[in-house]
Structure 1
Amino acid sequence: DLHVKDNVPHSPSELDADPCEDAFEHMNEKEITALCWASSFGSMIAVGYVDGDILLWNIGGDAFSKGKHAGVSGKDVVKLQLSSSEKRLPVIVIHWGSLSQNSYEGQLFVYGGSEIGSEEVITVVSLQWSPGMEMLKNVRRVDLSLTGSFADMILLSSLRTGGKSHFDGLFVLTNPGQLQFYSVEILSALVSNQERKSSLPGIEPPVATPTINPQMTTAKLSLLPRDVTFSMWLSEMTSVGPTLDPAEMGKWPLSGGTHGEISSAEEKQQKVIYIAGYRDGSVRIWDASNPTLSLLSVLEGQVHGLESACSDASVTKLDFCAFTMSLAVGTESGAVRIYNLNNDAECRKLHLIKHSEHEVRDVLPSKGPQCRAVVSVVNSPVRSLQFSASGAKLAVGFESGHVAVFDVMSVAVLFVTDSTPSSNYPVISVILKKISDVDGLVKGSKYSGPNYAEQPMEELMFILAHDSKLNIIGSRTGNPISSRPLHLKKKLTAISMYVIGGSNLMSTSSSKQREQANKDTTILHEPTQDGSARGGDLKGAERPSAEGGSLLDSLVLVCGETKLRLYDMKSVIQGEDKPSYKVKLGNTCCWTSLLSKDDDVCGIIVCYNSGVLEVRSFPDLKLVTGSSLTSILRWNFRPKMEKLMTSTENGLVSLVNGSELAFISLSSGENETRFLESLPLLHNKVLAAAADAAICYSEKQKKQVPVVGVLGGIVKGFKKEKSNNAKKCLS
Structure 2
Amino acid sequence: MHQEAKKVTAACWACPAGTKVVVGYSSGDIILWSVPCPPDPKTEQALQNELSASQITPISKLNLGYKAEKIPIAKLKWAYADGKSSRLYVLGCSNHHSANSLQVVLLNECTETRTIKLGLQPPESLIDLEITTSSVEQNKHRHDSLLVLGRSSHLYVYDDSLIERYLVQCQTKSPASLPKEVIVKLPYGDSSITVGKFITSTPCMPCSADEDFNMLAKNNLPLFPFERSLKDGSNSNSTTFSPFSKARNLFITGHCSGAINFWDASCPLLLPVASITQQSDNDFNVSGIPLTALYFSYDSHILVSGDKSGTVRIYTLKSETFAPQSTFASFQGSSKKGSNHIIRRIKVMKVNGAVLSINTTETLKQLAVGSDQGYVSLIDPEGPSVLYQTHIASELCTGIISMHFETCSFHGFEKNVMIVATKDSSVLALERDTEIH
TM-score (norm 2): 0.57
The yes-or-no answer on 1:415 pairing with 2:388 is yes
**In the alignment, what sits opposite 1:108?**
88
Q: Is the 8 A contact 1:282 1:298 kept in 2?
A: yes
- In structure 2, which of residues 420, 430, 433 is the aligned counterpart of residue 474 of structure 1? 430
For residues 25 and 82 of structure 1, the distance between their equivalents in structure 2, rounded to whole angstroms, comes to 24
| 1:187 to partner: Cα distance | 4.6
For residues 254 and 434 of structure 1, the distance between their equivalents in structure 2, rounded to whole angstroms, comes to 44
Whichever residue aligns with residue 125 of structure 1, its letter is V
- Note the aligned Cα RMSD (angstroms): 6.0
**In the alignment, what sits opposite 2:403?**
432
The number of residues matched between the two structures is 365
For residues 274 and 323 of structure 1, the distance between their equivalents in structure 2, rounded to whole angstroms, comes to 16
**In the alignment, what sits opposite 1:68?**
52
Q: How does 1:237-248 map to 2 (within 5 A)?
A: none
**In the alignment, what sits opposite 2:204?**
231
For residues 111 and 470 of structure 1, the distance between their equivalents in structure 2, rounded to whole angstroms, comes to 60
For residues 313 and 116 of structure 1, the distance between their equivalents in structure 2, rounded to whole angstroms, comes to 35
- In structure 2, which of residues 14, 20, 37 is the aligned counterpart of residue 44 of structure 1? 20
For residues 134 and 310 of structure 2, the distance between their equivalents in structure 1, rounded to whole angstroms, comes to 52
State the Cα deviation string for residues 604-660 of structure 1 (Å, max 9, x = none): xxxxxxxxxxxxxxxxxxxxxxxxxxxxxxxxxxxxxxxxxxxxxxxxxxxxxxxxx
Q: Is the 8 A contact 2:102 2:120 kept in 1?
A: yes
Question: Structure 1, unaligned stretches of length 5 or more?
Answer: 1-22, 159-166, 256-267, 345-366, 441-453, 481-731
Instruction: Give the 3-state SS of the residue equivalent to 2:203 in structure 1.
Output: helix
Instruction: Give the 3-state SS of the residue equivalent to 2:204 in structure 1.
Output: helix
- In structure 2, which of residues 71, 74, 77 is the aligned counterpart of residue 95 of structure 1? 77
Whichever residue aligns with residue 393 of structure 2, its letter is T
Instruction: Give the 3-state SS of the residue equivalent to 2:67 in structure 1.
Output: coil
**In the alignment, what sits opposite 1:182?**
160
Q: Is the 8 A contact 1:156 1:168 kept in 2?
A: yes
**In the alignment, what sits opposite 2:121?**
145
**In the alignment, what sits opposite 1:462?**
421
| 1:293 to partner: Cα distance | 3.1
State the Cα deviation string for residues 174-200 of structure 1 (Å, max 9, x = none): 3455543222114556899999xx985
The yes-or-no answer on 1:201 pairing with 2:180 is yes
Q: Is the 8 A contact 1:419 1:471 kept in 2?
A: no
In structure 2, do the counterparts of structure 1 residues 404 and 34 end up closer, same or farther at CA, with 3 Å as the change threshold?
same
In structure 2, do the counterparts of structure 1 residues 97 and 254 end up closer, same or farther at CA, with 3 Å as the change threshold?
farther
In structure 2, do the counterparts of structure 1 residues 187 and 478 end up closer, same or farther at CA, with 3 Å as the change threshold?
farther
Give the percent of matched residue pairs that are identical in Structure 1 and Structure 2: 19
Q: How does 1:308-457 map to 2 (within 5 A)?
A: 316=291, 317-321=293-297, 326-330=302-306, 334-339=310-315, 343=319, 374=347, 376=349, 378=351, 382-387=354-359, 390=362, 393-398=366-371, 402-406=375-379, 413-420=386-393, 429-433=400-404
Q: Is the 8 A contact 2:86 2:107 kept in 1?
A: yes
For residues 408 and 270 of structure 2, the distance between their equivalents in structure 1, rounded to whole angstroms, comes to 47
In structure 2, do the counterparts of structure 1 residues 296 and 42 end up closer, same or farther at CA, with 3 Å as the change threshold?
closer
Q: How does 1:110-189 map to 2 (within 5 A)?
A: 110-112=90-92, 114-119=93-98, 121-126=101-106, 136-146=112-122, 149-154=126-131, 170-174=145-149, 175-176=153-154, 178-183=156-161, 184-188=164-168
For residues 168 and 34 of structure 1, the distance between their equivalents in structure 2, rounded to whole angstroms, comes to 26
Whichever residue aligns with residue 180 of structure 2, its letter is P
Q: Is the 8 A contact 2:305 2:314 kept in 1?
A: yes
In structure 2, do the counterparts of structure 1 residues 470 and 310 end up closer, same or farther at CA, with 3 Å as the change threshold?
farther
Whichever residue aligns with residue 430 of structure 1, its letter is I
Q: Which protein has greater RCO, CA pairs closer than 8 Å, 6+ apart?
A: 1
Q: Is the 8 A contact 2:105 2:115 kept in 1?
A: yes
| 1:399 to partner: Cα distance | 6.5
For residues 341 and 115 of structure 1, the distance between their equivalents in structure 2, rounded to whole angstroms, comes to 49
For residues 128 and 144 of structure 2, the distance between their equivalents in structure 1, rounded to whole angstroms, comes to 17
| 1:46 to partner: Cα distance | 0.8
In structure 2, do the counterparts of structure 1 residues 191 and 410 end up closer, same or farther at CA, with 3 Å as the change threshold?
same
| 1:338 to partner: Cα distance | 3.5
Q: Is the 8 A contact 1:319 1:386 kept in 2?
A: yes
| 1:328 to partner: Cα distance | 1.7
**In the alignment, what sits opposite 1:272?**
249
For residues 377 and 70 of structure 1, the distance between their equivalents in structure 2, rounded to whole angstroms, comes to 79
| Structure with a larger share of its residues in strand | 2
For residues 250 and 156 of structure 1, the distance between their equivalents in structure 2, rounded to whole angstroms, comes to 15
In structure 2, do the counterparts of structure 1 residues 460 and 71 end up closer, same or farther at CA, with 3 Å as the change threshold?
closer
For residues 292 and 151 of structure 1, the distance between their equivalents in structure 2, rounded to whole angstroms, comes to 25
In structure 2, do the counterparts of structure 1 residues 428 and 141 end up closer, same or farther at CA, with 3 Å as the change threshold?
farther
For residues 338 and 254 of structure 1, the distance between their equivalents in structure 2, rounded to whole angstroms, comes to 30
Instruction: Give the 3-state SS of the residue equivalent to 1:185 in structure 2.
Output: helix
Q: Is the 8 A contact 2:375 2:391 kept in 1?
A: yes
For residues 402 and 313 of structure 1, the distance between their equivalents in structure 2, rounded to whole angstroms, comes to 23
Q: Is the 8 A contact 2:116 2:170 kept in 1?
A: no
In structure 2, do the counterparts of structure 1 residues 377 and 76 end up closer, same or farther at CA, with 3 Å as the change threshold?
closer
Q: Is the 8 A contact 1:314 1:331 kept in 2?
A: no
| 1:404 to partner: Cα distance | 1.0
For residues 311 and 146 of structure 1, the distance between their equivalents in structure 2, rounded to whole angstroms, comes to 25
For residues 403 and 335 of structure 1, the distance between their equivalents in structure 2, rounded to whole angstroms, comes to 14
For residues 326 and 151 of structure 1, the distance between their equivalents in structure 2, rounded to whole angstroms, comes to 43
| 1:281 to partner: Cα distance | 7.6
